[in-house]
Structures are given as C-alpha cells and as structure tokens.
Amino acid sequence: MAEARGTVPRPGIAGPGVLAAVAALVAMWPYTGVIQPGAWTFVVVAVIATTAVTGMAGRRMLRRMREGIRSLLTLLLQLGVLSLVLTNLLASETAEFGFVPTAASLELTGLRLQRAVDEISNGVAPIEATVSMTSAMGLAFTLVALLVDHLLSQRLVVLTVLFTSVVGAVPMLITFGSVNLVWFVLQAVMILVVLRFGARHDRDAIRHSPFVAAGLIGAAAIAATVVVAPTLPLTTPVGGTGQLTTVSADLRLGDDLRRPNETEALTLVTSASAPPYLRLATLSRFDGEIWRPDRSDRNPVEDGFGARPWGDPIETIEHEVSIRVVGMSSSRLPVPYAAEQISGLPRGWQAMPLNRTVISSTNDAAGADYTVQTATPAPSLEQIRATSAGGAEFVAAPAEDLPEVIGDLAREVTAGAESDYDRLLALQDWFRSEFSYSLDAPVEEGFDGTGADAVATFLEVRSGYCIHFAGAFALMAQSLDMPVRIVVGYLPGTSTDQTRGEDRVYTVTSDKLHSWPEVYFQGIGWVPFEPTATLGTPTDFVSEAGAGGDDGPDAPSASPTPTSAPSASATGGPDRSAEDPGAGVGGALPRLNPTPVVLVTAGILLVLLMPGLGRALRRMLRIGRSRRGDAIAAWREVADTMVDLRLPLHTSDTARTRAQMLATTRGADPEALRLLVDAVERRSYAELPPEEVDLGASLRRVIGDLEASVSGRRRMLAWLLPASLLRR
C-alpha cells in the first residue's frame, strides 16, 4: 500500500500576516482581565489588523525584490501607516488633517504614557480604561504586532511562540491574578497552528519535525516563568516612593522580612494632637503554632461599623483622620481605632464591625485616599479598674497544652495586682523593663516562631522583637482567663514639615510594621497594650482627678498612647501565609506570592503536555477500532508510531515492504506484522468485504517491539512531542 508523497506547501504571502494577527490577538486576551473594557481594545485590534494588512500588501508589491530589502521596505511601510492610524486614534486633536503627527502629537503622547505608568503603579486591577491607558496599550501592541509579523515572515516560529507566550503571561505574573485558562487553551491552539502552517517542512523529513521546536519553547517558557517572574517588580516606583510593601494579616515568624527597608508606606492628616496607631487586622485564633486572622460578619463599608461597644458612662473622643496609601499593597486598609465611618473609597471594600477593620477580596489598598471618622473610648483609671476583662464571646478558646512556664510567670508577675487592668499593666511594665528588643536573638537562639514553645524560649532568653512580645503577652493574658487578640498594623507616623490647613501631615514608613495585643473589658471594649520594649508608648490611663482636656497631653486613650516621634528602631512585621486572601507579607522589597508563578508554570506544563495527551487518545481510539477489524486504522497507527520514534518512513513503500523492513531492522514480531499486512491487503484489494479479525493484540505487539528498539530518550521524546500529529 503506497502513500502519496510530497511537500507541505509553504504558505503564500498572506499566510504569515494572518498567523501574526492571530498570534497577537491571542497575546492580547489576558489583558482584558486586568484592564476595564474600553476604547483600548478597539485600538489594539485596529493596530494588529493594520500591521497584518500593510505587511501582506507590502510583501506582495515587493515580492520580486531580495528578501532582506523586501523586509526592510515592508517594515518602513508598516511604520508609516501605523503612525497615521495611531495619530488619528489617539491624538487627532494635535494632528494635521486629523492623522498626520506633529511635535504636539509626540508631546501629548509622551505625557499620556507617563500618566499611564502612574495609573499602573497606583492602580488596582482591573485598571480603568483611561485615554492614557489606551495610548499605552496601543503603542505597546504596535511593537508586539510588528515583531510577531516579521518573526513569522522569516519563519522564526520558535521565537514567535516564545515571545507571545511571555507577552500573554505578563498580566498574571505581575498582578497576582488568577490563571487565565481560556488564554492557555487559545495559546495551545495557536502554537499548533503556527507550528503546522508557519514553517515549511518536508513530510519525509520526519526527524526534523517542527514539534522539536515546541520542546525548546516549553523549556524556555518554564525557565522564563520560574526564573524571571520572581525578579519582576510589583509596581513601578513613582515619585520616589519606591516599590510597594505587600502586607497580609497572618502572623508567623522566621521570615526574612524582619528587617524591612525604610520606604514611605502612607501619609496621614489628623485633627488629634498626635498620630494614631493604624490597624490592618486582628488575630485571635491560635492553634498552638500560628495566630490567624479573625473571621466575622462583613458589610459594605458605606454602611459603617455599627454600635459602639462601650456605654454612655465612658467618655468618647472623636477625631477625623485622612489617609493616603502611597507604598503599600494589601487586601486590608490601615485604619485607626475605632473607625465609625469611612468616606472616599470605591465599592468593594467591606467593614468587619467586630474588630473595626476593613477588607476586600477584589480591591487593593495601593493608591487609596480616604477619610476615617473615629470614636475612641477614654475611660478613667477608676472606671477601668472597676471593670473586669471578659465578655468577648467571639474570641476563640485558649490553646491547650501550653508550656507551664507561661502560666507560672503570668501569675508570678501579676501576684500583687488587685484588678484585671493592674495585672495587665504589670505584665506590660515587666516586658518593657526586663526584656530587650532584638532582631537577632530569636534566630541565634533558635526560637524565631510564634508557637507556644518559641514563646517559652523567649520568656527565658528575654530578647526578641515585636511579635515575640505581643505573642507572649497574649498567651500570658489567656492563662489568666482574659480574652485577648493580637493586632497587626503600623506604629504612629512621624511629623513632616507639611500641613493641611491647621493639621500636620505625618508619614508612616514600611519599617513601622508592628503588632500589639488587645484585651477586652466589659462595657469598654478592646483595650490595647504596648509590651514591646523601646517601641511606642505604653498604655497608662489616668485618674479622673488628673485628667486634662480632651486633646491635652495627658488625655486618656483606648489605644497605646502614641508619641509624636516614635522610636526609629525597626520592628518585625507579620509573615506571609496562604490563609489570608491578601497575598503574602512583604517588606519594602517586594516579595511575590509564589502561587501565581506555580499556577502559571503548571499551566504552561499542561499546554506542553497537550500534544502527548492528544496522541495517546488517538492511539487508544485506533487500537479500539483495530479490535473490530479496522486494518487501515491499525496500519496508520504503525506508521505514526514510526514517525514519533523518528524511524525512517518512506511513503512509497508498500505494506509488505515496510513490514519486512521492520522485522529485519527493528525486531518486530513477523507473525504480528503478517496478520496486519494480510488484513491491509484484503481491505485494499479484495472484492468481498474482509472478515472481521481482532487486530488489537497484533497492533500492540508491533508497537511494543518498535518502542523497545529505540532508546528511552527517544521514547520519551515520542510521547512528549509526537511528530505524527503534523502528518496529513
């Protein structure tokens, strides 16, 4: 049985242009998930279409010229036409006749590009489809379309697929967005189409199948994802603020971000005499190893935070705090305690009334500018001493099997105190006077963790950083049957020379990431304490006789009384964990959440395995048909197996000639080959329909013999990159 012999025709002049347009459109798809719908999609599609059409027209008009000159002149033609189209679409108000660019057009485009960089740096996906963003996307995909068009015109298929894969993966890598499965499928189909029609190859040249290129592409794509992705910045530095600090709520130690570089995270303006502590999240669920964020009901932030947890006898101090986030990325907003109303936020932010924090599953704090109305309980010393700690039903039960030293020390330190407040004050004073602040001691002594055992070691060494102090204080308070939780947030900011009206502007830097404990008092609510040595100002309520005005220097406060110039010592920040939806914790240097990189890499691997999976499915179907006597399906499977194993295959060979060659050179079973050849010849030449014979066993035997005749490397290559998928 002979097979037709020939060469797959090389696509005509229009072929590369069409393929390039398809490849560029597929590369554009992931950007629709990170930029809101708008005119940018029309501009990008118009640019891609213009590039393809002018490329095809130029190559057709110049087809008699030498390849190099034709490519250069075609590129110049495309640049000329694209400049007119882009000017008309993006800057027609500054152009001659609406499409001829001028110096003003270039200046306007430059300004819009600079504005687009700012929008990307400070924005949250999906970014608004502004005119600036439309200009940036139009120019970016002009370069993409031109490069893809000329790569394919030169039949550089490997570089084409690699380049479009990187362009399409960028939105997922730098925004931590979910993996775009639709794009992966489209990209896989595009790869197969480009490999099939984008290059000329002889069907007899089986050993040089274009699918070998897919292996190179896969290796390069995986390397680019794993090696290059972690080096990509989360944002572009803007206005000298540096890169974003990525902050999440989970509290775990042992992270290398205990020494964050100092960059500006946010600025604030307040009507109070001093800046407040800012809270991101509270953690009260302790499993013996890790403190985890609270889970409670949420409502739209526009609805406020509900009733105050303290009653009328408790004095309330109200303030307004305006906050602008300039260098922090998080799914949580930094807010002072106790927030009551927040204005200036887009939809999507949710308030958690039980802990007075703000969270979102869709928005990012980066670039947020909002105003918080706060109401702070200010009990007198007599009032808080008359109140017991307890009554917070939503706080989790203390962890079991804590080291005895925690409870023993708690009872020893508080032995002389008569009220719960005095006991907590004694704990706070003990930590601040008997312990030292150190970033190195936990690592050197081997207790850099939040577990109960690490706390026990910290109590023995008496040196650590803020999370050790907060964690130890919390467990000791729990051992005294007090409801306690840990707050993750920022120390008060430092004053700047700027003012807004009569109010001072304060700046909060990334090294002010901090944690502190809070204890619940009936009728008062959550009262914070500051046990960390040398940082902040310890809680100390004053008696009614010694209280001054609301805003005086001795005014009581339900938060650790801030100083106008807190210690410049660095404090340990929270660690990253997959528990929280807000990605990982970072310092000033960005730390990528590994999940998107892993998922994108897994997606690329899945795409690369698709040819092998498709080939396995085809073999399974053919074996099934051969069991029912389909000789043609069985013989085609033999031929495709030879192609996949890179064995010589001559399309002019008859079935009998090929079988003899396989038996003598590859050790294939002669009897199994004879059964297959007889069935093929009866199917091809017999006048009567051949009787159905089960050919499945013979086919599997021949396939096994052929695979056994080659090396393991060639068998693996045949499975991953089956060249037979390119045969007609």
pLDDT at 600 over 60: no
Q: What per-residue confidence (pLDDT) applies to 571?
A: 39
Q: What is the largest CA-CA distance in the chain?
A: 118
The band of 421, judged by pLDDT with boundaries at 50, 70 and 90, is: very high
Mean pLDDT of 278-288: 83
Instruction: Compute CA 562 distance to the chain's CA centroid, rounded to the nearest angstrom.
Output: 35
Higher-confidence residue of 294 and 677: namely: 677
Q: What per-residue confidence (pLDDT) applies to 307?
A: 83
Mean pLDDT of 353-380: 86
Structure token digits, residue 711: 């090396």
Q: What per-residue confidence (pLDDT) applies to 370?
A: 92
Structure token digits, residue 294: 């609270």
pLDDT at 668 over 60: yes
Mean pLDDT of 418-422: 91
Higher-confidence residue of 439 and 137: namely: 137
d(CA 58, CA 621) in angstroms, rounded, equals: 46
Share of the chain above pLDDT 70, in %: 74
Residue pLDDT, tens place only, 564-594: 333 333 333 333 333 333 333 333 333 334 4
Q: What per-residue confidence (pLDDT) applies to 214?
A: 44
Q: Phi first, then psi: what are they for 214, rounded to 5°?
A: -60, -35
Q: What per-residue confidence (pLDDT) applies to 416?
A: 84
How many angstroms separate the first and last alpha carbons of the chain?
16
Q: What per-residue confidence (pLDDT) applies to 336?
A: 92
pLDDT at 726 over 50: yes
Q: What per-residue confidence (pLDDT) applies to 531?
A: 92
Q: What per-residue confidence (pLDDT) applies to 586?
A: 33
Mean pLDDT of 141-147: 87
Mean pLDDT of 238-242: 35
Half-sphere exposure of residue 115, counting CA atoms within 13 Å on the CB side?
Answer: 14
Higher-confidence residue of 447 and 595: namely: 447
The band of 201, judged by pLDDT with boundaries at 50, 70 and 90, is: very low
Q: What per-residue confidence (pLDDT) applies to 334?
A: 92
Average pLDDT, the chain: 75
Q: What per-residue confidence (pLDDT) applies to 335?
A: 92
The band of 546, judged by pLDDT with boundaries at 50, 70 and 90, is: low
Q: What per-residue confidence (pLDDT) applies to 108?
A: 79
pLDDT at 196 over 70: no
Which is it for the CA torsion 356, 357, 362, 366, positive or negative? Answer: positive
d(CA 468, CA 487) in angstroms, rounded, equals: 13
Mean pLDDT of 338-346: 89
Mean pLDDT of 226-235: 38
- The two beta strands, 436-437 and 369-377, are unpaired
| Strand order across the beta sheet in which 299-300 lies | 299-300, 350-352, 357-359, 332-333
Residue pLDDT, tens place only, 84-139: 888 888 877 777 887 788 888 788 788 778 777 766 765 556 677 778 888 888 88
pLDDT at 253 over 50: no
Q: What per-residue confidence (pLDDT) applies to 241?
A: 36
pLDDT at 559 over 70: no
User: Of 15-19, 255-259, 444-448, 722-726, which range is least confident?
Assistant: 255-259
Higher-confidence residue of 247 and 645: namely: 645
CA distances from 231 to 179, 423, 607 (A): 19, 49, 24
